[in-house]
Amino acid sequence: MNEQRVQTLLNFRSKLGDSSERTIDISFQDASNTLTAVKTYQVSLQSPTVMILSPKPNEEIIRQAESSEANLELFEPNSLQVSASINWPDGLPRDIIYAQLDVDGSLVAQSFTLNPETIGFEWDLRPYQAPGKKSARLSIQLQDELGLTGKSDETIVQVLVSVPEVASTSTVIPKTVIDTPQAAANTPVVQAIATNVPTLCNNLTGIEASLCRGKVIGKTLVSTPSGWVTIGGLLVAIFAIAMAFRFRVPISRAGDKAMSALVETVTQLRRPSQSDSGALLKVLQGDKELLGKTIPLYAQHITSLGRSLREVELAFQVNQERSVVSRKHCEIHGEKGRYRIIDLGSTHGTFVNGERLPVGDKGKILSHADQIELGPADQGGVLLQFQMPRSKAETKIEAPDSKPTYFGNL
């Protein structure tokens, strides 16, 4: 009789994600009877495991183009399929509600495709544009419908961006001994020296080798047109350096300041002659070499003041890293017998009789005996006095053959 009983099979899916003992209470009613049952069972849930299948560890992914002129974003491939397997250690497959692909610890993709036992992502390779090889660490993490999470181990791959080389159009010049005037006339001087010295002096040593090299270089220079150009350039450079040392201010560290002296002399020579001088600046505080000295200002001329030898005419405190004088501090404009001072946006300001000039303003017309500060004088700035002589004779500062005194940089 029991064999004829009606059996009812019920299926349900729990949303609880913890492992515990559970009790299920069933009440079922059909047309004639009400059936009840109570059942206790044990559930042991485990997180899903994830393992990257593709790409393989240490696999090299090459992005390249057919020509060197191609846009790096268009190098192929633009993307790569990353796939991984999903396993359920507890034997209870569940739905995946979230997953992401990380590269070097950063999220790069959340859109995925699911197969019964695998998951796939599209990895965008376009950010890899710098030529060369770079390592990338891939990992996948996901979450199932019960809130349990799984994460793969990192897979390290290599991304190589290969840029085709530009085709070379240069030609190789064979190394031959240049021992005739015709050959020397048509050969660049550097190539001639590089060719003749090793060939003619290779078997010599010591002083004989040195004399041979000097003789070959000298003969090559005077026997090639480009050699004469080289000699001319050397003579010009020697003359310029000699002029710099002839007219420079006395210095204590000549070796470190040779180039600065050259720049200073060139700047001085570009200034107008003293016959155009209309006013003077007297140094009251600043570089010790200039204290008490007077500097001429010229009519119809803009005189720039600051700390940079290469950017201004009158340079002060060049070697002081913490000077309150800016590289380009201010300008004094000679305008029809008047002189206007303008601040050039200096950090610590330009002051006239203690009043700071506004930046970007038209400046201030100077009057006789005005005191000018490049940076606050009480903080180590330069203090100058503007003087408007009553006659041209008063603007003469020193004899023409004396050394210049209006550069406080050395």
Give domain limits for the chain.
Answer: 2-43, 49-162, 181-238, 272-395
What per-residue confidence (pLDDT) applies to 406?
A: 43
| Residue 338: how many other CB atoms lie within 10 Å | 14
Measured distance CA(192)–CA(181) in Å, rounded: 12
DSSP H/E element including 194: helix 189-201
Pick from 175, 135, 125, 133: nearest CA to 155: 135
What per-residue confidence (pLDDT) applies to 298?
A: 87
What is 49-162's CATH superfamily?
A: Immunoglobulins (2.60.40.10)
Report residues of the chain scoring pLDDT below 50: 1, 169-187, 247-270, 273-275, 397-410
Which CATH number is correct for 272-395, 2.60.200.20, 2.130.10.10, 3.40.109.10, 3.50.50.60? Answer: 2.60.200.20
DSSP string covering 90-124, please?
Answer: TS----EEEEEEEETTEEEE---EE-SSEEEEEEE
pLDDT tens string 38-97: 888 888 889 999 999 999 999 999 988 766 666 666 688 889 999 999 999 988 888 999
The two structure tokens encoding residue 194: 């590089």
pLDDT tens string 163-221: 776 655 444 444 444 444 444 444 455 555 555 555 555 555 665 666 666 666 666 55
Pick from 95, 61, 58, 100: nearest CA to 77: 61
What per-residue confidence (pLDDT) applies to 394?
A: 53
What per-residue confidence (pLDDT) applies to 306?
A: 94
What per-residue confidence (pLDDT) applies to 175?
A: 41
Measured distance CA(166)–CA(185) in Å, rounded: 33
Contact criterion met (CB below 8 Å) for 100 and 141: yes
Measured distance CA(107)–CA(104) in Å, rounded: 9
What per-residue confidence (pLDDT) applies to 283?
A: 95
Q: Model-level pTM?
A: 0.38
Measured distance CA(387)–CA(283) in Å, rounded: 11
Do domains 49-162 and 272-395 share one topology? The answer is no
Residue type, 4: Q
CA-CA distances (angstroms) from residue 303 to 15, 136, 265?
A: 85, 59, 16
Measured distance CA(161)–CA(130) in Å, rounded: 7
β-sheet bridge partners, residue 216 = none
Contact criterion met (CB below 8 Å) for 96 and 143: yes
